[in-house]
Every structure is written in structure tokens, then in C-alpha cells.
Amino acid sequence: MSLDHSLIFNARKFINAENVHRVNTWIFCYQTSIPQSVRQQRFEELLRDFVTTKNLILGARMQAKLARDHGVDLRRKSSALEEEVKRLS
């Protein structure tokens, strides 16, 4: 099995100042391991778990932002309706 270059690409997208050395080490170890070795499989699994976790976190943050934005919009509409009711009373 050859290297999964899309896995490497996706892992690099999530590199930040906190994890740069760790993730680059994982990528290096994955790339330099003997093909189909236990070591290569271990680092591939590690990278897949990393990418999966980061994608789940990103999805959760996007959902939270959508919910927050929807709440702000509902509050704005509620305030507008409340003002309209006060004006008509």
C-alpha cells in the first residue's frame, strides 16, 4: 500500500503553533516507514485519528455558530415583534 497523500494533505491543514512539531513528526515517521510495516500502519492510524478528530471539532464549531447565529436572529425578531406590540397597544 502506498502513502495516502490526501491524508497527509488533510493533516497539514490542521497544523497550528501548538501541534506543528508533533504532527510533522507523525507525517515524517509515516512517510519514512517501510511500506505496510506495523510502524507505518501505527502512524497512519494516528494521522487518521487526528484528522477525524479535527474534522469533528470543526463540524461541532460550525453547528454551534449556526445555532448561535439563529438565536441572535430570533432574539432580534422577537424584540422587533415586542416593539410592534407595544406600539399597537
Q: What is the pLDDT of residue 85?
A: 92
Counting residues of the chain whose pLDDT is more than 70, the rounded percentage is 99
Cα–Cα dist 8/82, whole Å: 53
Number of domains in the chain: 1
The band of 89, judged by pLDDT with boundaries at 50, 70 and 90, is confident
Q: Indicate whether 1 pLDDT > 70.
A: no
Structural domain containing residue 29: 5-88
Cα–Cα dist 12/23, whole Å: 8
pTM of the model: 0.80
Identify the residue whose cell numbers are 470543526. Answer: 58
pLDDT digits (tens, 9 = 90+) for 13-40: 999 999 999 999 999 999 999 999 999 9
